[in-house]
Amino acid sequence: MSFVLTHPTNKVNIVSALRALFRLWKEEHILERDFSQFFESFRVRHPERVPSFFTKEEVMRIENSISRSSAVGKRNYAMTLLASRLGLRASDIENLRLNQIDWDNNLITLTMQKTQKVIQLLLLAEVGNATIDYLRNGRPKTELDQVFLSSRAPYIGATKSCVCAAIQNAIITSGVDVNLKHHGPHSLRHSLANAMLHEAASLPVISESLGHRHTDTTMVYLKIDIPLLSCPRNGRKYYP
């Protein structure tokens, strides 16, 4: 037990290995005593994970670092804005279809891949302009209905790994500090939640914007800036 306690970073692996070893010894009749109850009572506390995020200034730096002079750059810029401005997951950017964008009413309506929840998001001007630029000047001519495509023939819909790689590359090459941070599409999603908190958005509003089924899920984003939640501004609190 003292060995486990003195190796906190490996507690989970150590306990798992010891459980398997004692089970084997019991099955091979090397030990008479059954230690399974002991391991059932031993629980390793997992450290609470705080979501990685970037400041508003860092997000702007990431967006502006993407060159839009090429077809790939136009595509990657539009995909990045969908993550940073609308909070879409990589799977939702991958599966975005042409008919899900209502240009007349500036709306995007889609079914989120993870939750299967139908959401409707306002198509912000910057996001819409970036997407139009890609569709008109960067997207290959094809009958495929996915908005984002591969950059080389034979053209196929952009995959989740393609979206993740494009956004991750944009973050790294922007020069923002990524030390000890996750730096993919989800970090931009967290960054949007952080920005909304600073703009006094309530929990239900953030939850609806991110497409969560329950506000309990959104609580993880509140770990970003707990003191802010109880800090009143103009007579109101951030927490609903």
**CA–CA distance, 73 with 69 (Å, rounded to integer):** 6
Q: What pLDDT is attached to residue 152? A: 86
The CATH fold assigned to 56-228 is hpI Integrase; Chain A (1.10.443)
**CA–CA distance, 35 with 221 (Å, rounded to integer):** 39
**CA–CA distance, 228 with 230 (Å, rounded to integer):** 6
pLDDT per 10-residue tile (average), the chain, 240 residues: 45 61 68 67 52 85 96 97 91 95 95 86 94 97 95 90 91 88 81 73 58 56 52 42
Tell me phi and psi for residue 122, to 5 degrees. -70, 130
Q: What pLDDT is attached to residue 9? A: 44
Q: What pLDDT is attached to residue 239? A: 36
Q: Where are the domains of the chain?
A: 2-41, 56-228
Q: What pLDDT is attached to residue 113? A: 85
Q: What pLDDT is attached to residue 181? A: 76
Q: One-letter amino acid identity for 76?
A: N
User: Cis omega (within 30 of 0) on the bond before 154?
Assistant: yes
- CA 188, distance to chain mean position in Å, is 7
Q: What pLDDT is attached to residue 220? A: 60
